[in-house]
Amino acid sequence: MLSYRHSFHAGNHADVLKHTVQSLIIESLKEKDKPFLYLDTHAGAGRYQLGSEHAERTGEYLEGIARIWQQDDLPAGAGGVHQCGKTLQP
């Protein structure tokens, strides 16, 4: 069985897509006047440093979140999650 360590892949294009869609769904659910529960059954460490040895080894974040951070014209609703990720990096 192959092992998967997210620290090598954090911030890649798939991560950007997942977190964008996830954020937009949660924002949509918050507009309703009903409570909801979000349970992440596959959560990892929760915070990954893109300057770490693992992330730098693959450099996948350079074609993912790093490209998004260079954009000034993100679609409405998509900028929040990406700005949050940028704020959390050292």
Predicted local confidence at residue 82, as pLDDT? 72
pLDDT digits (tens, 9 = 90+) for 45-85: 878 999 999 999 999 999 999 998 888 888 877 767 777 77
Is residue 59 situated within a structural domain?
yes
pTM of the entire structure?
0.81
Residue 69 lies in a domain: yes
How many structural domains is the chain composed of?
Answer: 1
Q: Could you list the residue range(s) of the whole structural domain that residue 55 is in?
A: 6-38+47-88
- For 6-17, the DSSP string reads GGGTTTSHHHHH
90: pLDDT strictly greater than 70: no
Report pLDDT for 34.
96
In a domain, 1, yes or no: no
- Which are the contacts of 15, defined by CB distance < 8 A and separation ≥ 6? 9, 61, 64, 65
- Secondary structure element (H or E) that encloses residue 20, with its range: helix 13-30
Torsion sign over Cα 23, 13, 69, 85: positive
- Tell me the per-residue pLDDT of 2-16, one tens digit each, with 9 for 90 and over: 788 999 999 999 999
